[in-house]
Amino acid sequence: MAEPPADERQRQAWEEEEADAAAGPSTEQVFEGEPVPTLPEMITARSVAVGVVLGVVLSIVAMKLSLTAVYLPFLAIPAGLMSFFLSRWWVRLLDGCGVAQLPFTRQENAVIQTFVVSCANIAYTGGFGSYILAMSRTSAVDGGPGNSGGNVAEPQIGRLMAFLFLTSFVGVFAVMPFRNSLVIRHNLPFPTGMATAHFINSIHTPHGAKQASMQVSVMFKTLGGAIVSSLWQWFYEGGMHCGFRSFPIFGLTAARFGFFFDFSMTDIGIGFLSPYKVTISMLAGSVACWGIMLPYIMTKEGSWYPRGIGGINAYRWFVGISMVLADGLFHMLCILLRTLREMRRRRHSRLTTLPSMCLGADERPPARSFDDRRRAQVFLRDWVYDPAAVVGYVALSAISIVAIPRLYPQLRSRHVALAYLIVPLFAFCNTYGIGMTSANLGPTYGKIAVLAFGSWVGLQNGGVVAGLAAGVIMLSAVITAGDLMQVFRTGYLTLTSPHAMLISHVAGTALGCVINPLIFWMLYGAYNGGDGVPVAPYAKVYRGMAILGVSQQALPRHSLLLSKVFFAVALANSVLREVSARRGWRVGRYLPCTIAVAIAFFMPPKVPIGISIGSIGMYLWRRLDGDGARLRSPPVAAGLICGDALGSVLRSMLMLSRARPPICLMFLSPRASERLDAVLATYM
């Protein structure tokens, strides 16, 4: 038996490879006998046909949900599953007609899934059920402030298509240079992209691999259990605050501040995939925000902020954004400095090899396992000249600065220029957060843009429409950037060419920019004043937010001071963590993950609690059965996330069919229960 190396990092890699060899073939060893398809073999005529059909179908579903609920479930897993079964039906149909067809590869399925999701997501990132309808006269209140003249803009198909084409590709160019750094060097998990990749790998596993078959069986059993759990919980949600989604795990007093468990299988699955430090940091951030800061600020209502207008949310928004910007700006500068240093070193050493044109890629950690080496080889084989992405972003920005003011005259060229100037920073910060925790802060950035740009333009100059249009720009850019990096993570784990994933993402987005406005116009015309179903119930909420932005009210007291303090603390923590990692200081082990703490300020505590429960389960599993946890935890996590996504789609279908849960399950204190019993006794 070979002796382990003396070096710590090499010894750790040797131990992992020995464990992999003892456990059996890994994922890519199972697929090793299959050659990696070329780009034309990934983007085929049949994959394009299946993608277009599913893209249109899911766009209709997504738009209908956007107009009636402003809720869009995670579509990657349903898209992957539907593309798999539709592709099998395609092959069987042609075989029945005497035309021999090879089965669809996992790379083709990854391309189809990317195309479909990027197309359907335009229904949400385009702001149809929120920002766009908030501009319309139907969302305006007669006689109210800002509800006439330049503060109203009716939706028009031509204007919407042009606006979407100008805003939906910004995020692609903004984060393209950081793909290798985030996916390989930092090795960010991107939990939903990882779950999608594992799902695709599982349904395309070659026959005869015992370990792979076991993982597929585990994933589908977990997936079925998650779907059943989601539907079973629905039966007990017959009213407000009913059901298991508000289980007071820490008691009713803590539940009033949001500290309860909602039985979200997605959060538990993310906990299985997230590092312990990220989970602990998110939980600490929730306690700091929702358990300490906000309860204290609530005692200052009427003094620090006006009563009854939700001004307390401004504190957590500004504080959270300041922490996100501090950590994101620091990591972006680190990547840029590493790249410049590496280019200088290569120029002085006169290496014969061409320098990498991907930011931060040259200091990536060595790939340790067979899967890592094979995936990195395929992922780095297709490189994109980063200056081309920069030129593309500058060109699109220049076009938008001229064109968007013609579409929405309330936004001047200087407003659009500033928006496109800050988009790369926000897009990178949001993408980095998604990679760590799978939490998408795009809606928060959009709301802040509504308030900031609306206040800048002013009520008399159409600040309501200007703020809402700026919100769409920011929302679309940051979400598209995060989606693209999720796509690259899925492609990395399925050996799909980054070129193929990028082309599929861009093509799906382009189709979505055309098809979604048409679907919106048809559905809006059918619902508007129709059968009593409320159209875009959140449109008036967003319009009220825009009116609040143009009302020139002062910021809540001490909100900027708190933001500056937390910005400084977050920046110091990020710097100390980086220095500790470089110098090997032990203090770095105990420092929280800045971005994870910041993200907890934007989400209710139930999300970190669910993720923590998943991490606790993973920790206990590893202690009891280390090898079994290492082999089965990825398919279990994928099954939980995928099953919850499919369950949410089924629940959405029940909602659209106007089905109502038959039971209301509530948790009450003994005193409240006695009062309720007394009231019910009077009717018996």
The CA-CA-CA angle for residues 509, 510, 513, to 5°, reads: 85
pLDDT level of residue 626 (50, 70, 90 thresholds): confident
Strand, helix or coil for residue 500: helix
* pLDDT, position 501: 92
Tokens of 471: 């919100």
* pLDDT, position 216: 67
* pLDDT, position 375: 86
Q: pLDDT, tens digit, for every residue of 424-483? A: 988 888 888 888 777 787 888 888 888 889 888 888 888 889 999 999 999 999 999 999
Query: Picking from 310-319, 325-334, 348-357, which range would have the lowest pLDDT averaged per residue?
Result: 348-357
How far apart, in whole angstroms, are the C-alpha atoms of residue 646 and residue 199?
Answer: 13
* pLDDT, position 168: 92
pLDDT level of residue 368 (50, 70, 90 thresholds): low
Is pLDDT above 70 for 365?
A: no
Highest mean predicted confidence (pLDDT) among 49-53, 303-307, 340-344, 643-647: 49-53
Average pLDDT, the chain: 80
* DSSP 8-state class, residue 301: B
Q: pLDDT, tens digit, for every residue of 83-118? A: 777 777 777 777 777 776 777 888 988 999 899 989
Highest mean predicted confidence (pLDDT) among 150-159, 266-275, 324-333, 487-496: 487-496
Query: Picking from 236-250, 312-326, 343-357, which range would have the lowest pLDDT averaged per residue?
Result: 343-357
Q: pLDDT, tens digit, for every residue of 546-560? A: 887 777 666 778 888
CB 513 within 8 A of CB 128: no
* pLDDT, position 662: 87
Q: pLDDT, tens digit, for every residue of 292-309? A: 998 898 888 878 877 765
Q: What is each CA distance from 653 to 54, 64, 656, 660, in whole angstroms?
A: 17, 10, 5, 11
pLDDT level of residue 59 (50, 70, 90 thresholds): confident
Q: Which residues on neighbouring strands pair with residue 305, listed in sequence order?
A: 301
pLDDT level of residue 504 (50, 70, 90 thresholds): very high
Q: pLDDT, tens digit, for every residue of 165-222? A: 999 999 999 988 888 888 888 788 888 888 888 878 877 776 544 555 676 678 788 8
* pLDDT, position 349: 58
Is pLDDT above 90 for 386?
A: no
The pLDDT > 70 percentage for the chain reads: 83
* pLDDT, position 572: 92
Identify which of 183, 41, 31, 125 has the alpha carbon closest to the alpha carbon of residue 490.
Answer: 183
* pLDDT, position 111: 92
* pLDDT, position 81: 65
Is pLDDT above 50 for 407?
A: yes
Q: If you count DSSP H runs as helices and E runs as strands, how many of each does the chain have, helices first? A: 30, 0
* pLDDT, position 537: 61
Average pLDDT estimate for 490-502: 91
* pLDDT, position 4: 46
Is pLDDT above 50 for 573?
A: yes
Considering the entire predicted model, what is its pTM?
0.72
How far apart, in whole angstroms, are the C-alpha atoms of residue 463 and residue 638?
Answer: 44
Is pLDDT above 90 for 535?
A: no
Identify which of 441, 427, 444 has the alpha carbon closest to the alpha carbon of residue 172.
Answer: 427
CA 181 to chain centre: 19
How far apart, in whole angstroms, are the C-alpha atoms of residue 538 and residue 546?
Answer: 13
Highest mean predicted confidence (pLDDT) among 64-78, 182-196, 562-576: 562-576
Q: What are phi and psi of 366, to 5 degrees?
A: -65, 140
* pLDDT, position 609: 92
